[in-house]
A and B are shown apart, each in its own frame.
Chain A
Amino acid sequence: MKNRLKELRAERQWSQGALAEKLGVSRQTINAIETEKYDPSLPLAFKISVLFKQPLERIFEPGQT
C-alpha cells in the first residue's frame, strides 16, 4: 500500500519520533510505514487520518509494497 505519510509529516515539520509519540507507536513503526515495508492496521490508519485531518484515501492508496 502506498502512502503520503512522509510528505504530510514533513509539511508539519515533525520528526518521526514526534509523530510516533502523537500516534502512540514506536519510531520504527512510522519508519516502516513511510518506507512502505509495513501496512498499518485499520485503527492506526484511522488515527493517522484524524491526526492529519485527511480522509484515509488521501493518505493511503492501493499499490504493491
Chain B
Amino acid sequence: MTNPNLHEDDKKQSCRTSGTQEFLRSLQLNAWLAVSAATYVATLFLNRRHPGWSPAWKATVALMPILPGLLYLRNGMQLLRQMDELQRRIQVEAWLFAALGTVVVSTIINVFNGQGLNGNWPAHGLEIGGTYMTMFLMWSVGVTIAKLRYR
C-alpha cells in the first residue's frame, strides 16, 4: 500500500529538471564574477602596458573590477530571494564559508608577507582578482559541503 518508490520516471524527470535549473542558476549567479575576473585581467594588462598614465587614472582603471563585482552581489541577492528555503540555506552557508575562508587566506598571505617570507604567494596580498577567485573557489567548496550535508 505504501510504496515510496512509485513514479520513478517522475522522480528521474524531476532530478533532471532541477539539475538543469540548478546549472542555469549557478551560471547566472557566476556570470558577473566571470566578467569581474575578465575586467581584472584587462585592467592589469592596461596598467602594465601604459606605465605613463597618471596615478588617478591608474587607480580608476584598477578599481574597475569593483563595478561588475557589485553587480555580482546584486545578482546573488536577487537569486537568493527566488530560491526555496533549503537552497537559500545552502547558499548562505556557502557564502559564509567563502567569506571566512577568504579572510583566512588573505590573513595568512599578509602574515607571511609581514614576516618577510618569500614564496609563490602574491607580494601585495590577494588584490581584487585574487579575492574574487579565492571567494569563488571557497564558495564552490562551501556549496559542495552543504549539498552533501543535506543530500
Closest approach, in angstroms, between the C-beta of B125 and any C-beta of chain A?
38
- Number of B residues near A (Cβ < 8 Å) is 20
Q: Are A26 and B86 in contact (CB under 8 A)?
A: yes
Q: Are B2 and A44 in contact (CB under 8 A)?
A: no
Q: Is the interface of A mostly helix, strand, loop or mixed?
A: helix
Specify which chain B residues have a CB less than 8 angstroms from the CB of A37 in the assembled complex.
149-151
Q: Are A26 and B18 in contact (CB under 8 A)?
A: yes
Chain A: CB-nearest residue to B11: A15
Q: Are A44 and B85 in contact (CB under 8 A)?
A: yes
1/0 contact string of A17-35 vs chain B (CB within 8 Å): 1101000111111011000
Chain A: CB-nearest residue to B1: A11
A6 within 8 A of B: yes
Q: How many A residues touch the partner, as a band?
A: 20 to 34
Q: Are A6 and B4 in contact (CB under 8 A)?
A: yes
Q: Are A17 and B2 in contact (CB under 8 A)?
A: no
Q: Are A15 and B10 in contact (CB under 8 A)?
A: yes
A52 within 8 A of B: no
Residue from A11, A18, A28, A37 whose CB has the most chain B CB atoms within 10 Å: A28
Q: Are B18 and A28 in contact (CB under 8 A)?
A: yes
1/0 contact string of A25-55 vs chain B (CB within 8 Å): 1111101100001101100100000000000
A9 within 8 A of B: yes
Q: Are B2 and A11 in contact (CB under 8 A)?
A: yes
Specify which chain B residues have a CB less than 8 angstroms from the CB of A16 in the assembled complex.
11, 14
Specify which chain B residues have a CB less than 8 angstroms from the CB of A6 in the assembled complex.
4
A61 within 8 A of B: no
Task: Identify the A interface with B (CB < 8 A).
Answer: 6-7, 9-11, 13-18, 20, 24-29, 31-32, 37-38, 40-41, 44
Task: Identify the B interface with A (CB < 8 A).
Answer: 1-4, 6-7, 10-11, 13-15, 18, 84-87, 89, 149-151
